[in-house]
Amino acid sequence: SQQGEEDPQALSIQEGENATMNCSYKTSINNLQWYRQNSGRGLVHLILIRSNEREKHSGRLRVTLDTSKKSSSLLITASRAADTASYFCATVKSSGDKLTFGTGTRLAVRP
Amino acid sequence: GAGVSQSPSNKVTEKGKDVELRCDPISGHTALYWYRQSLGQGLEFLIYFQGNSAPDKSGLPSDRFSAERTGGSVSTLTIQRTQQEDSAVYLCASSLSGGAGSDTQYFGPGTRLTVL
Is the pLDDT reported for residue B53 higher than 70? yes
Q: What is the pLDDT of residue A44?
A: 93
Q: Between B48, B89, B102, which is nearest A41 by CB?
A: B89
Residue from A87, A89, A91, A73 nearest A11 by CA: A87
Task: Tell me which amino acid residue A37 is.
Answer: Q
Predicted confidence at residue A94, as pLDDT, reads 80
pLDDT of the residue at B70: 85
For A58-101, the pLDDT digits (tens) are: 999 999 999 999 999 999 999 999 999 999 999 988 877 889 99
A61/B71: higher pLDDT: A61
Q: Which residues lie closer than 8 Å to A56 by C-beta, 6 or more apart?
A: A47, A48, A49, A62, A63
Cα gap A84→A11, rounded to integer Å: 10
Contacts of B35 in chain A (CB under 8 A): 99, 101
Of A42, A48, A98, the CB nearest to B104: A48
C-alpha A51: how far from its chain's center?
15
- Residue B77 at interface with chain A, using a CB cutoff of 8 Å: no
| Cβ–Cβ below 8 Å for A96 and B33 | no
Residue A4: what pLDDT?
66
CB contact under 8 A, A101 and B44: yes
From residue A62, give the alpha-carbon distance in Å to each of A47, A48, A74, A76, B68.
9, 11, 6, 7, 38
Contact criterion met (CB < 8 Å) for B44 and A41: no
The confidence band for A1, taking pLDDT boundaries of 50, 70 and 90, is very low
A40 touches chain B (CB under 8 A): yes
For chains A and B, CB pairs below 8 A equal 63
Per-residue pLDDT tens over the stretch B4-47? 999 999 999 999 999 999 999 999 898 999 999 998 678 899 99
Among candidates A41, A98, A99 on the partner chain, residue whose Cβ is nearest the Cβ of B109:
A41
What are the tens digits of pLDDT across the range A8-52? 999 999 999 999 999 999 999 999 999 999 876 789 999 999 999
What is the distance between the alpha carbons of residues A110 and A86, in angstroms, rounded to a whole number? Answer: 15
pLDDT for A86 equals: 94
